[in-house]
Structure 1
Amino acid sequence: MFDTALTSSDFLFLARGAGMTLLVTAISVVLGTCLGIACGIFRFQVGPWWAAPMTFLLDIFRSIPLLIQLVLVNAFLGMVLKLKISGFSVACGVLTLYTAAYCAEIVRGAIEAVPGTTRRAARSLGLTWWQDMTSIVLPLATRVALPSWIGLALGVMKDSALVYIVQVTELLKATQILITRLQEPLLLLMICGLFYFVISFPLARLGGYLERRWSND
């Protein structure tokens, strides 16, 4: 007969960890996507030479492992600047910049995928740059960018497991705490994986639904 020391309180502890994972992911993805869209449009609009400083900065966040970024930013803010900033704020800030760095490249590539003839036709009809961008370019670019953005959002959700390093008790950290106390790693890791699946599955299915719907338009 199956026997476990896991209690309802332990399960709620895991659920709170999952809630923290969702919160950190949601804040980082929303803010990072907004910042990434702005950076992607800027890079496309001004060209590679003028955008070189921004590109270099974004490449830093794409190239350095996220764990190292979290450690360095947390240490710099606390030990060098002597700022008392919570681990949650550090985690959200670093993940936001990390998301923006990848999202900017996705947006730039998606905008470049819009045919130049389409943009010239829009401008010939008297549309302003803003009207052209919001009514023509971005709707078309969204279809190109969506699959990559879905993958990015899911990746950020899983990468949020690294924020334990700045004392944020997300889902994986909560699981590790219970494993240390209960000594039931297999069961707890299975429950942890189930939580991750429940969190990520709806987003993946939504992306697939939108792709199918747009491909039939």
Structure 2
Amino acid sequence: MFDTALTAADFAFLARGAGMTIVVTLISVIAGTILGIVFGVFRYQVGPIWAAPLTFVLDVFRSIPLLIQLVLANAFLGTILRLNMSGFTVACIILSLYTAAFCAEIVRGGIEAVPMTTRRAARSLGMTWGQDMRSIVLPLATRVALPSWIGLALGVMKDSALVYIVQVTELLKSTQILITRLQEPLLLLMICGAFYFVISFPLARFGGYLEKRWSND
């Protein structure tokens, strides 16, 4: 007979951790995507020379492991600048910038995939730069960039497990706390994995639906 010390209160504790994972992921992906679009368009528009300082900063966020970024940011903001920021705020800021660094490259690549002849045709019809970007370039670039963006969003969701280092109790940290108390690692890790699956599966399926729909247009 299967026996466990896991209670309804423990399960609710895991659910709250999953909720924190969702909140951190949503904030980071939304803010990071907005910044990534701005940075990606800027890099494409001004060229590699003028965008070199921004490119360097983005390369830093892409190259340094996220765990180190979280530790350094928490120490810098709290110890050096003496800003009284919560771990949740620090986590969202760093994860947003981390997301933006990768998203900017995805956006730039998507824009470059739009044929120049299409852009010239749009401008020859009297479209302004803004109209060309809004009506022609970004819709076409979105189709190219969507699979990579979905992968990025799912990666950020899983990377959010590292925010425990700044005292944010997300899903994995909640699981570790219960493992220490209940000594049932296999069961708790299975439940943790199920939570991650439930969180990520709808996003992956929605991305697949959009790809299939656009491919049939």
Q: Which residue of 1 aligns with 2:99?
A: 99
Q: Secondary structure at the match of 2:83?
A: coil
Aligned length: 217
Q: Secondary structure at the match of 1:47?
A: helix
1:57-72 alignment, distance < 5 Å: 57-72=57-72
1:20-43 deviation digits (Å, cap 9, x = unpaired): 000000000000000000000000
Q: Structure 1 CA distance, aligned partners of 2:81 and 2:205?
A: 44
Map residues 31-46 of structure 1 onto 2, 5 A cutoff: 31-46=31-46
SS at match of 1:49: helix
1:24-173 equivalences under 5 Å are 24-173=24-173
User: How far did 1:82 drift?
Assistant: 1.1
Structure 1: segments with no counterpart, 5+ residues: none
Task: Please tell me the residue identity of whatever aligns with 2:91.
Answer: A
Question: What does the per-residue CA deviation read over 1:80-128, in whole Å, with 9 as the maximum and x for residues that have no partner?
Answer: 1111100000000000000000000000000000000000000000000
Matched residue, 2:13: 13
Within-5 A mapping of 1:157-196:
157-196=157-196
| TM-superposition CA deviations, 1:107-158 (whole Å, max 9, x none) | 0000000000000000000000000000000000000000000000000000
Q: Distance in 2 between matches of 1:134 and 1:81?
A: 40
**Does 2:204 correspond to 1:207?**
no
Distance (Å, rounded) in 1 between the aligned partners of 2:78 and 2:113: 43
Letter of the 2:32 counterpart: G
Name the % identity.
83
Aligned equivalents of 2:82 and 2:108: distance in 1? 37
Report the RMSD for the aligned CA atoms in angstroms. 0.3
**Could you tell me the TM-score, scaled by structure 2's length?**
1.00
TM-score (norm 1): 1.00
The 2-side partners of 1:82 and 1:32 are apart by 25
2-structure distance, mates of 1:134, 1:158: 32
How far apart, CA to CA, are the structure 2 residues paired with 1:116 and 1:199?
39
Question: C-alpha separation between the residues in 2 aligned to 1:133 and 1:10?
Answer: 50
How far apart are 1:5 and its partner, in Å?
Answer: 0.2
Cα distance in 2 for partners of 1:82, 1:137 equals 44
